[in-house]
Structure 1
């Protein structure tokens, strides 16, 4: 199917795809690290694993955090579990509690429970944030840990904020010479000026796990899709439909500062569907590692992922999601700086395929966070 696009009555410009051949990466300022802390005298460093969050990805974040806590080597790490409730109240976690295990809250509201959580964090050596989505992955939690002077896994404030914003990510990608799906940002005030011009994908600018994402094939389904996306964000991205295979790749910064690229992973998606929330979490997703790609296409994908890792200011591990068209063209879909991190998520599966099993991957990430 030929890609179509959505326009406005005044024909406001949209973001155009850049030429496919990559250009040099803009020089990236290294992500700011946490302030140095005194060396721990503990035999096992204490790690705060933070899950939950005040957003639509709360349950996914609980699963990620619980999986990390269970997989960390108890002979090497002392683990403190913290959960941010949907209401913003912080809890201390005990895995003995059914469900995800949040015990009594640390306070009555977000502010006093956060103050209590900071007291617990002050007695930790480093943190492993596992909060996907807004008020977590978007740099918010990184900012809190920066202010607390606590080393942490993953992207800093700038990298998290840029990558969480799908529109900003596309602008950076185009500046790097990478291809993206043409599209535009829409707010609630602009909805009535939109003119239907064929199938589009509608998604919140800053949300994850495919929440609020809709493939719109008919004009009468556009407004409900926009309303669903606007319920999660005040800006919506409307993009042309890209026909192609969905292929992911991950970049890991190891403790010595070197970058390791995992094998590409293809997501088996039924014809006419997106890799939406249903396919992700209802049943077993069809992940194929390694993805069958021509060597030139794989090399281009690795190069593009490393370019964006540097340009966005990523750290720890980040996942880069692409479409690969029938002609072999790579089109960036999005970047995840706090990707799903259960043992069966894409990133751990990729690195396990090259001999880096899940517990060792977590050890690598923590060692990288503590290198500052």
Structure 2
């Protein structure tokens, strides 16, 4: 029997297009002898679309529509992707949420799947919500004693009442350079590097376009390194990779549009540095009660100090994204990684079924 796999992609988020890239890659990598794929597209308006509604206009060539006429592949998709009894609403065996950003990566969809009692890939409600909110994440890491850069945060209403006080607090607490970010977005959307008051003012305005809460972090002189974490209660780590931006910092354009970034895998670090990064990554994973997958991002200073930057509970997941590339270098191919994540989802779901729900 094939595993009935639901693929959730798109989403009502500024990271909608990133999700489409992920969905295309995963569908093309899945073994159709093992999986019966049920694509479910969430439009930017919030509408959920599935089944025959996603097919292209050519009857004899089933192309999966992503949005606005873009197709997921120019290759004909066989009928196994769209089972003959699609209308029967067969219960899915497992769901893979290929969603990035709010309304997908932040615990909202995870909560829905919990209510439906369907196994799903990735982090649960709590880890997803806290991992999405950079302020809450950093507050928890501070409580856990995890070394990280200094930060301050603001909500829009307080900033509107006294913007001058906010700017002054940043300058006195963090200084320049600093980074201004929406608290609840990923993929470097809405992020600015600030070197003076003028750029700080512009950065606040930009970040508040994407969120009612923003975070400002001190600039750290150090290498940007990342490690991938895989597992549930006993997580494992990949090799470490290094990001070498050719621009001022690793922004959205460098990540997804012009590829103007160097990725070094594995990074040239010592065994002691690797162990330190791995240990903090696992500590961070457990502090948020994560499951399935996480990409942990760090700064590595000239003195060998490891500073936690953030974790991403649904990292970029195309074959050319850092998370899959780190595991590729560690001996797990992209298609194998997808299947491993599905196995972990089922394992975690079965563990949850042991909980007593009646008294």
Counterpart among 116, 134, 152 of residue 148 in structure 1:
116
Partner of residue 238, structure 1: 216
TM-score, length of structure 1 as denominator length: 0.80
Alignment of 1:34-113 (within 5 A): 43-92=1-50, 93-94=54-55, 96-97=62-63, 100=66
Distance (Å, rounded) in 2 between the aligned partners of 1:72 and 1:145: 22
Count how many residue pairs are aligned between Structure 1 and Structure 2: 312
Distance (Å, rounded) in 1 between the aligned partners of 2:143 and 2:89: 38
Distance (Å, rounded) in 2 between the aligned partners of 1:298 and 1:244: 15
TM-aligned CA deviation for residue 200 of structure 1:
1.4
Secondary structure at 2:66 match in 1: coil
Partner of residue 370, structure 1: 346
Partner of residue 277, structure 1: 252
The structure with the greater share of residues assigned to helix is 2
Alignment of 1:239-318 (within 5 A): 239-253=217-231, 258-270=234-246, 273-284=248-259, 285-318=261-294
Partner of residue 106, structure 1: none
CA RMSD, Structure 1 to Structure 2 (Å): 1.9
Distance (Å, rounded) in 2 between the aligned partners of 1:215 and 1:258: 37
After the TM superposition, list the runs of 4 or more consecutive aligned residues in structure 1 that deviate by more than 6 angstroms. Answer: none
Distance (Å, rounded) in 1 between the aligned partners of 2:325 and 2:254: 17
Asked if 1 retains the 8 angstrom alpha-carbon contact of 2:225 and 2:299, the reply is yes
Secondary structure at 1:266 match in 2: strand
Residue segments in structure 1 that go unaligned for 5+ positions in a row? 1-42, 104-118
What is the CA deviation profile of residues 113-144 of structure 1, one whole-angstrom value per residue up to 9, with x for unaligned ones? xxxxxx98762111000111111111011001
Distance (Å, rounded) in 2 between the aligned partners of 1:84 and 1:122: 19
Asked if 1 retains the 8 angstrom alpha-carbon contact of 2:228 and 2:295, the reply is yes
Distance (Å, rounded) in 2 between the aligned partners of 1:121 and 1:277: 38
Distance (Å, rounded) in 2 between the aligned partners of 1:216 and 1:74: 48
Residue segments in structure 2 that go unaligned for 5+ positions in a row? 57-61, 70-86, 351-359
Distance (Å, rounded) in 2 between the aligned partners of 1:340 and 1:250: 11
